[in-house]
Structures are given as C-alpha cells and as structure tokens.
Amino acid sequence: MRENDIRVIKPAVGGGFGGKMELRPWEFCAAFMAVKTGKPVKFTLTREEELTTGRRRHPMQLRSKVGFKKDGTLLAKDLHIYLDGGAYNAMGPTATFLCGNFGAMLYRYPNYRFVGEHVYTNKPPASAMRGFGAPQSLFAAESQMNIAAQELGIDPIDLRIKNAMVTGDEIPDVATISSCGFIESLEAVREMSNWKKNRRRKKKGYGIGIGCYSFISGGVFNWFNTQYPFSAAEVKVFSDGTAHLLTMASDIGQGANTVLKQILAEELGLRMEDIRLTAADTAMTPQADLGTWGSRVTLMAGNAILQAARQIKEDIFGAVSARFNLNVIFDMVCKDGRVYAEGKPDRGMSFGDAVGMVQKANRGEPLIARGYYTPRGKGLVTPAFSFGAQVAEVLVDTETGIVKVEKMYTAHDCGTVINPMAVEGQLEGSIHMGLGYALSEELIVEKGRTLNNTFLDYKMPTALDMPPGESVCIETYEPEGPMGAKEAGEGLASPTAPAIAEAVFNATGYRCMDLPITPDKVLKGQRK
C-alpha cells in the first residue's frame, strides 16, 4: 500500500488531555482490519478496561532541597525525581525531562541541579496527561515555598514576589522568558481573596493557601530537529469576500477551530461567518503539524495562519494601492470587509473586489497563500511561557477529615485573550482536574493489577464538587504568539493541589506531602 492510498480525516473525537498522544495496539488493529475487510472498524473499551489498560499520569517521588538567605532570597535548588513509567518505556523519558524543566521555572534559582530517574515497574504504563510533568514537579516546588515561608516567617505571597521570574529572565538551557505576568498574578489573587485578612481568620476547620505555576506555551522539544515546519496553514480568498482556511491542526474540544478562524478573520478584516475551515484532512490540508499537545495549537497554527494571511494582504495591498495611486506614506488596512488607506476609507474597495482585481491581473488564478511556523532558539523547549497563581479556601471537618473547597481565586497570564469564553472554559476545566488530583483520584495497583477500575472505587469529582470561584486574565503581550496570545489550557492543572494542601495545613496543622489528600490522611495527620 502506498502513502497516497490512505486518507485520514479526523472526526470529532472528544477530549484528549494527553492520553491520545500514543497509538495503542487496538488502533493499529482497527486500521488493519478496516483495510482487510473493507468495512469500518471500531474498538470500544469499557470503563473497566480503560481504567485498567489506559494511560495514567506518571507517579513520582521527588526529593528537593532549596537554600534561602534569611531575608528570603533564593540561593540554590537540588531536585531529584524517581518516575514510575510502568511496564513499558512509553512517555517516561519525556516526562522525566519535562519535570526537570518545570522544576527550574517560576523562581530565579542562581544554582540549579536536576537528576531524573525513570523506573520500570510491573504497573500499567503511564503517559502524557494534562500538564505532563508539571503537576508533580510544581506540587513539590510550591509546597516547599510554603514551608520556607513558614520557617522564615515571611508571608507566602511576599516570598514568591521576592523571587519571582520576570520578563527577560532565563531558564537555564531552556529559553529566555519573553513575557511574564507572574508578579501581577500574585498581586491579583492577593486582592481577590482578601489574603491578609483571611490568613488571620480564626474559624474551626477554615484554611487558605496558595499555589503557583508556569507552563510551556507551544511544546517544541529540542530533539525534534526536523526539516518540516511545526505547523502550516493554507488560506484561499475569493471575490465574494470569503476565505477558506485549511490546517492540519486538530480541535479536540478545546475550541481551536473557533480561535484559528478568529485569528484569520481579525487579520483579514472579515467576519467569522466569512471564514470556512477545513481541518485535519490529509487529502486537502497542509501535512505539517505535530499534533494537539503541549498547549501548542493557538501559538503555532495561529502563527502559520498569520503568515499566510499577510501574504494575501501583501498581494491585495499592492493592487489596491496601484488602483488608487496611493503614496507609500499611506498604510493599507483590511477592516470591516474593506481594503483601504488608513484614515482614508474612501480610498479603497471591498475585500471581495480587491481579490477579484488580483485574480484578474493573474489571469483568473485563485489567490492562495501558505504559511509556516517553526520556532528557533537556544536549547528551546517552548517559544513562550504562561504564568499564574491560585488561592484556595477550604473547610475541613476535623472529625471526619473531609476537605471541602469553599472557593478558588485564579489569576492567569495567558497573553492576549483571543476568545474569552474558551479561556474561561479551559481555566474551569483545569481547576476541575486539579481538584481530583488533589483530593481523590488515585489508581491503586497491586502486583500489576488495577484494583479500583470503576467509578464506584475511582473517585473523580463531578460538576457538583466544583467550588465557586473568581478568575482574572493577566493580559501580557507575548511577542512569539499570534497577536500576543499564549497558553491557556494546561498550566492551571498544577497550582490547585499545592494551594489546597497549604489551605489544609493552615486549617489543621497537617501538611500533606503525598497526594491525594484523603480524609484518612487528614485524620491521621491531625492526631500527630
């Protein structure tokens, strides 16, 4: 069979959250059986099968030493992790690598050492999961910052601000931070949560705590030394004033299709309804795209779209400028379905007429442009980083050990917000997953067998468990992102657990160092 004999069309497949990054045996079997039978083939796993054989987040043990001056200035960090990869290699090396990177983020560590060990076990294999190495690493790092604040007698937020990364700081051998709203995020959650007053609040079982995060915005990884671009886009425009966007980027429920159309519509001055989108069809769309992972789609596919759109504009601007004998001192704009000299809307024409004029000059050839994006840089893991902070308020029943999260306060530096509703959805989804990670979700494996493989035993939070919350986007401008945008989908899976853990400590004096924070652990910790 030849490559061109196969056409792949991505249907709506639901959420990914990392677990669909790897091909599993039944996916190969389905494709093989479809070829052999000439019939559609579908594999459906039961919930028990999925919880038994599916991919999970990598369990880790972390040992971390951090040195401070008496005034709270960071001096050094020594991080050693042991990662349980399960029975097969899978994504263990990648998670180990990333954990070391995340361990160096957020704060200025003048000296940093990382040792990572990937261990084979007889457990089911682990793989990518939302945040991929960050929740584990940052739970340890943020818990450590809270412990240090207690030991030094410094407010936890003040200690973080003193050591926080800012724009221009460098993560060793990784990248230089080109935009950073971390300090602004800390100040925002301090104000929203009435932090100083509530830290002094004396109510049985009440506690308040903070956790922070930084995350990659556009996963690159420096071992992808490929001749192909990381993302590509094709834009076709028509004399009726519409455009057709073709991209291999896949929407898996995060709203990428909407955001990518918004980027093109904004750049060409068209309405959303003027944009037709074809995504992830190997017979039609550009082949270059590394997939939907690492919070990369908006940044990388968006940049490819902008490049294609700007080529279209260059052709159109040249034609319109010549038609109206415009001097070069006039800047051309595309806005509200028209192409004209900036400040002189009468010196121009409709977008469709401009396209038709270019087509006529090109003997009827359609106006098409392709854009490509590949980030370049020293030791590059990602072209941009997001930042944020989160405060949790909890009530702990000291007789049962049950922890109830009363409210969450979140500040998220996601650069320019292109689609506020989509960002809000991502933030809420991240908090929900972080809630499960913090309080209840745990796969129990004994002699290689998963024991809690139903939702009766695997405790996942429902919508009813979601606490009320307040959130704010700290809008910075990311020069590497399309229109200044960056990550909004994964980073906030990380700070929820350390924020809740610190709140539980504030309420009970028990500091949990082993997730999840279950009632029995809280009761046992209180007795100590």
What pLDDT, in 10s, does the model give residues 361-414? 988 889 999 999 988 766 678 889 999 999 999 999 999 999 999 999 999 999
The candidate with the shortest Cα–Cα distance to 214, out of 74, 101, 99, 105, is 105
In a domain, 3, yes or no: no
In a domain, 123, yes or no: yes
In angstroms, how far is CA 187 from the centroid of its own chain?
22
In a domain, 466, yes or no: yes
Structure tokens at 250: 């896949």
Residue 450 has pLDDT above 70, yes or no: yes
Give the global pTM: 0.94
In a domain, 320, yes or no: yes
Same-domain status, 419 and 476: yes
The pLDDT, as a whole number, for residue 16 is 81
First-last CA distance in the chain: 67
Compare 528 and 164 and report the one with higher pLDDT.
Answer: 164
The pLDDT, as a whole number, for residue 224 is 55
Same-domain status, 383 and 516: yes
Q: What CA–CA distance (Å, rounded) separates 380 from 294?
A: 14
The last residue of one of the domains, among 310, 340, 373, is 373
Structurally, the chain folds into a number of domains equal to 3
Q: What is the 3-state secondary structure (H, E, C) of 13-59?
A: CCCCCCCCCCCCHHHHHHHHHHHHHCCCCCCCCCHHHHHHHCCECCC
Q: What CA–CA distance (Å, rounded) separates 356 from 362?
A: 10
Same-domain status, 334 and 398: no
Where does residue 428 rank: exposed (0-12), middle (13-18), buried (19+ CB within 10 A)?
Answer: middle
If you average pLDDT over residues 86-94, what whole number do you get? 86
If you average pLDDT over residues 69-89, what whole number do you get? 94
Q: Give me the domain span that covers residue 338.
A: 231-373
Same-domain status, 243 and 215: no
Same-domain status, 238 and 268: yes
The candidate with the shortest Cα–Cα distance to 441, out of 16, 213, 130, is 130
The last residue of one of the domains, among 351, 373, 395, is 373
Task: List the single range of 113-127, 218-232, 284-298 with lowest mean pLDDT.
Answer: 218-232
The candidate with the shortest Cα–Cα distance to 414, out of 496, 374, 472, is 472
Helix, strand, coil share of the chain (percent; to 5): 35, 25, 40
Structure tokens at 383: 């072209």
Q: What CA–CA distance (Å, rounded) separates 285 from 69?
A: 56
Same-domain status, 434 and 523: yes
Compute the mean pLDDT over every residue in the chain, rounded to the nearest whole number.
92
Structure tokens at 124: 């089911």
If you average pLDDT over residues 282-292, what whole number do you get? 88
Same-domain status, 338 and 400: no
In a domain, 475, yes or no: yes
The pLDDT, as a whole number, for residue 201 is 87
Helix (H) / strand (E) containing 306: helix 302-323
Residue 466 has pLDDT above 90, yes or no: yes
How crowded is the C-beta side of 26, counted as CA atoms within 13 Å? 10
Domain of residue 178, CATH code: 3.30.365.10
* Helix spans in 330-419 (H): 351-361
pLDDT in tens, 34-46: 989 999 999 888 9
Cβ atoms 356, 182 nearer than 8 A: no
Q: What CA–CA distance (Å, rounded) separates 106 from 385?
A: 10
The confidence band for 315, taking pLDDT boundaries of 50, 70 and 90, is very high
Task: List the single range of 119-123, 164-168, 292-296, 305-309 with lowest mean pLDDT.
Answer: 292-296
Compare 464 and 290 and report the one with higher pLDDT.
Answer: 464
Same-domain status, 401 and 433: yes
Residue 347 has pLDDT above 80, yes or no: yes
Q: What CA–CA distance (Å, rounded) separates 294 from 429?
A: 16
Same-domain status, 93 and 158: yes
Compare 95 and 160 and report the one with higher pLDDT.
Answer: 160
Q: What percent of the chain has pLDDT over 70?
A: 97
The candidate with the shortest Cα–Cα distance to 266, out of 483, 481, 414, is 483
Instruction: Determine phi and psi for 302, rounding to 5 degrees.
Output: -60, -40
Residue 223 has pLDDT above 60, yes or no: no
Q: What CA–CA distance (Å, rounded) separates 248 from 304?
A: 11
The pLDDT, as a whole number, for residue 221 is 61
In a domain, 225, yes or no: no
R_g over Cα of the chain = 25
